[in-house]
């Protein structure tokens, strides 16, 4: 992107009356080189994540329990090792954030309760229309639905369902860890926080193109329809990735993006066409519009940084001398 190589990467200042020269602060690495290191590190993470899904040779489809279990193993290994990539990036660029690696990646207790609840609430407001549609089509009333949802037997079935574990637990946790918690700290000093929100999801969106390989392999549609579906999925995942990147920066926590990711995986893409043909179309459309309107109205207040204490990425930019943005206040 054009943002790469911009003024997002200022160099580390050392306490004292005189700032240390740029070359000394970065151990001889210039801004251009640091940006290349950041982009290459993110690209290697994305390739490693997707590549880990294909280390197992199998003729079975991706939804087969045996395939899912094997991929759990490889993707968890890659995700567990991904913080090492951030450590290597820090050594190559010479940047010293002044905070621990885990804090920088959103693993911290300070402000964790609002960071878990408010982003999820905000996302549920956005999905007001689909949630209304789901409740209208549900065969149970509210009381029976809550009994089913809270029943231990229902959760036991979920925890033994490999597809549920993949979509609601493993994928949200590992994808947000790799594509947000690891990539954003590396991109932000190079591009600045604003451009990083839109740069980071590109890696996330491209990483989902591997589904094309399996769809072509198992002939799950015509070539044109498969690539059209892939283009739509890239657009949707890129927009969603920008949203969770925004949440990660504004809250300084990983838990919010993970919970929102899991919720969106459960809801899927809003069935707007089905809503237009629904017997209760008018209230549903009102719900869709009201949800989007309330989401836009509450986006800034519910992600107000003061609710979540200090923001690690903003502290990182302060240490590198970059000017603060509206995302930090």
7 within a domain of the structure (yes/no): no
For residue 22, pLDDT over 50 is answered with no
Q: Are the C-beta atoms of 244 and 236 separated by less than 8 Å?
A: no
For residue 176, pLDDT over 70 is answered with yes
Please return the burial class of 217, using the count of CB atoms within 10 Å of its CB with bins 0-12, 13-18 and 19+: exposed
pLDDT tens, position by position, 68-111? 999 999 999 999 999 999 999 988 888 877 889 999 999 999 99
Fill in the DSSP letter of residue 305: G
pLDDT tens, position by position, 105-133? 999 999 999 999 999 999 999 999 999 99
Q: What are the two backbone dihedrals, phi and then psi, of residue 219, each rounded to the nearest 5 degrees?
A: 50, 55
- Of 27-31, 78-82, 256-260, which gets the smallest average pLDDT? 27-31
Closest CA to 207 of 72, 42, 66, 34: 42
3 within a domain of the structure (yes/no): no
In Å, how far from its chain's centre is CA 126? 17
62 within a domain of the structure (yes/no): yes
154 within a domain of the structure (yes/no): yes
For residue 209, pLDDT over 90 is answered with no
For residue 208, pLDDT over 90 is answered with no
pLDDT tens, position by position, 230-253? 788 888 888 999 999 999 999 999
5 within a domain of the structure (yes/no): no
pLDDT tens, position by position, 303-312? 999 999 889 9
The residue range of the domain holding 260 is: 31-328
State how far the Cα of 293 lies from the Cα of 301, in Å rounded to an integer: 14
204 within a domain of the structure (yes/no): yes
Residues taking part in catalysis: 175, 208
Could you give the number of structural domains in the chain? 1
What does the mean pLDDT of the chain come to? 84
Q: What is the pTM of this model?
A: 0.85
């Amino acid at each position: 992107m054009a943002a790469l190589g911009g003024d997002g990467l200022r160099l580390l200042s050392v306490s004292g009356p005189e700032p240390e020269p740029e070359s000394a602060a970065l151990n001889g690495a210039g801004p251009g080189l640091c940006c290349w290191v950041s982009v290459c590190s993110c690209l290697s993470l994305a390739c490693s994540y997707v590549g880990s899904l294909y280390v197992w040779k199998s003729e079975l489809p991706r939804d087969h329990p045996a395939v899912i279990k094997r991929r759990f193993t490889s993707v968890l290994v890659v995700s567990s090792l991904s913080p090492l990539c951030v450590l290597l990036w820090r050594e190559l660029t010479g940047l010293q954030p002044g905070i621990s690696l885990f804090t920088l990646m959103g693993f911290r207790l300070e402000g964790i309760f609002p960071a878990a609840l408010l982003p999820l609430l905000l996302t549920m407001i956005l999905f007001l229309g689909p949630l209304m549609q789901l409740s209208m089509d549900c065969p149970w009333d509210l009381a029976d639905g809550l009994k089913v949802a809270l029943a231990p037997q229902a959760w036991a079935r979920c925890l033994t369902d490999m597809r549920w574990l993949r979509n609601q637990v493993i994928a949200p946790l590992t994808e947000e860890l790799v594509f947000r918690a690891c990539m954003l700290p590396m991109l932000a000093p190079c591009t600045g926080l604003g451009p990083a929100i839109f740069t980071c999801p590109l890696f996330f969106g491209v990483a989902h193109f591997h589904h094309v390989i399996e769809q072509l392999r198992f002939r799950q549609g015509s070539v044109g329809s498969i690539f059209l579906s892939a283009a739509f999925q890239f657009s949707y995942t890129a927009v969603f990735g920008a949203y969770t990147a925004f949440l990660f920066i504004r809250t300084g926590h990983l838990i919010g993006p993970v919970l929102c990711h899991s919720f969106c995986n459960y809801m899927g893409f809003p069935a707007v066409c089905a809503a237009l043909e629904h017997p209760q179309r008018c209230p549903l459309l009102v719900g869709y519009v009201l949800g989007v309107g309330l989401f836009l109205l509450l986006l800034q207040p519910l992600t107000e940084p003061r609710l979540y204490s200090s923001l690690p990425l903003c502290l990182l930019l302060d240490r590198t001398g970059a000017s603060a943005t509206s995302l930090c206040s």
